[in-house]
């Protein structure tokens, strides 16, 4: 196992209250495995990604759990040690490549600088930079361009090429294709696939369920700071267990059928005061329809159980008669 996240909890201490952005989230990623997290905006996906890197922005704080990467706990690791791991063993790619590029410097200089920082000789780094651009189908003369002279897709490919240079053990990609058209999006996903085939594990965050389904080995469904369902992608697509997963799938447009798109009633909760019990209960159709769940779903928090091998769910429908789901 490459990454083992256990009971990770992250809160933001804002002036208007404590935002419980991620609560007791557990999952793991094996070597050369691709896990994708999907979920509505604000469900805590990016916070999980930052938690893994132990880079939660202020006023956020990891308040519980551990992140074991390659046998070491990143939550308790000293900053100096963490710096050596970030960028080299774990790389991160964000939605907006401009957050990782300096707009005032040529891209070639920036690529060379990153390599030199990681111990590559300057002459070697210049040679490598040309090869890197070629490997992501960008003409090497673009090294002399400033970031704004490149398209969004080219900028993102350059960021990924920089990540590829160090063959990280884990690549975290947070909405890397949201601002790009479908063809460019595909080319970025192909690059991630290529990294995976070279041994890198991928943790992708996206709103786009079709992307998650096409490329991943495993998926995780986040809602209101909790992981609701998680496991083998085929098992979840063929047999979604959690009412939220089913609702999310039903609300996804399908180009090839004229199925009616379902709108999940209501809104995600305010994470300063999340609902009691199951955080999804105020919007859950099953809870509304089944009187026997009153006093269970709205009171007790469901625990994550392995409902079938490699397929985990946190919902009282799969618990015992006391509403204990584990």
Q: Which does 42 bind (CB under 5 to 8 A by kind): ligand SF4, ligand ATP, none?
A: ligand ATP
Q: Is 39 in the site for ligand SF4 (CB under 6 A)?
A: no
Q: Which does 293 bind (CB under 5 to 8 A by kind): ligand SF4, ligand ATP, none?
A: ligand SF4
Minimum distance from residue 219 beta carbon to ligand SF4 (Å): 17
Piece of 35-43, 51-59, 198-206, 238-246 that binds ligand SF4 (CB under 6 A): 238-246
Q: Is 243 in the site for ligand SF4 (CB under 6 A)?
A: yes
Piece of 57-65, 206-214, 251-259, 285-293 that binds ligand SF4 (CB under 6 A): 285-293
Q: First and final CA of the chain: distance in angstroms?
A: 23
Minimum distance from residue 49 beta carbon to ligand ATP (Å): 8
Q: Is 41 in the site for ligand ATP (CB under 6 A)?
A: yes
Torsion of CA 126, 132, 133, 137, to 10 degrees: 160
Q: Is 286 in the site for ligand SF4 (CB under 6 A)?
A: yes
Closest of 236, 235, 210, 211 to residue 221, by C-alpha: 236
* Rounded CA separation 196/219 (Å): 16
Residues in the chain: 326
User: In the complex with ligand SF4, which residue's Cβ is closer, 34 or 244?
Assistant: 244
Q: Output 69-74 pairs: Cβ under 8 A, ≥24 positions apart.
A: 69/2, 69/3, 69/169, 69/170, 70/2, 70/3, 70/169
280, 307, 311, 312: residue in contact with ligand SF4 (rule CB under 6 A): 280
259-278: contacts with ligand ATP (CB under 6 A)? 271
2, 3, 5, 45: residue in contact with ligand ATP (rule CB under 6 A): 45
List interacting residues with ligand ATP (CB under 6 A): 12, 14, 19, 21, 39, 41-47, 57, 59-60, 271
Question: Which residues would be at the binding site for ligand SF4 (CB under 6 A)?
Answer: 242-244, 278, 280-281, 284, 286-287, 293, 297, 302, 315-317
């Amino acid at each position: 196992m490459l990454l083992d996240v256990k009971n990770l909890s992250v809160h933001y201490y804002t002036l208007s209250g404590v935002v419980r952005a991620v609560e007791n989230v557990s999952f793991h990623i094996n070597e050369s495995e691709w896990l994708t997290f999907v979920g509505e905006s604000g469900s805590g996906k990016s916070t999980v990604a930052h938690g893994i890197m132990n880079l939660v922005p202020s006023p956020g704080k990891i308040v519980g759990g551990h992140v074991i990467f390659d046998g070491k706990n990143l939550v308790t690791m000293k900053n100096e040690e963490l710096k050596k791991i970030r960028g080299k063993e774990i790389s991160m790619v964000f939605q907006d490549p401009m957050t990782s590029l300096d707009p005032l410097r040529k891209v070639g200089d920036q690529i060379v600088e990153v390599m030199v920082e990681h111990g590559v000789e300057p002459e070697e780094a210049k040679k490598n930079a040309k090869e890197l651009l070629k490997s992501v189908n960008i003409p090497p003369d673009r090294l002399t361009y400033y970031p704004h002279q490149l398209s969004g897709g080219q900028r993102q490919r350059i960021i990924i090429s920089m990540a590829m240079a160090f063959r990280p053990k884990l690549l975290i990609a947070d909405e890397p294709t949201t601002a790009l058209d479908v063809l460019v999006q595909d080319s970025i996903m192909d690059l991630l696939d290529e990294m995976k085939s070279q041994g890198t594990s991928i943790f992708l965050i996206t709103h786009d369920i079709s992307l998650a389904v096409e490329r991943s080995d495993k998926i995780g469904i986040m809602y209101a700071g909790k992981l609701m369902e998680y496991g083998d992608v085929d098992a979840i697509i063929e047999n979604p267990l959690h009412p939220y997963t089913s609702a999310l799938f039903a609300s996804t447009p399908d180009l090839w059928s004229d199925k009616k798109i379902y709108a999940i009633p209501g809104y995600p909760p305010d994470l300063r005061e999340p609902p009691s019990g199951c955080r999804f209960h105020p919007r859950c159709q099953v809870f509304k329809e089944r009187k026997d769940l009153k006093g269970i779903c709205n009171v007790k928090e469901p625990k994550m159980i392995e409902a079938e091998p490699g397929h985990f769910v946190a919902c009282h429908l799969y618990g015992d008669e006391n509403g204990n789901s584990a």
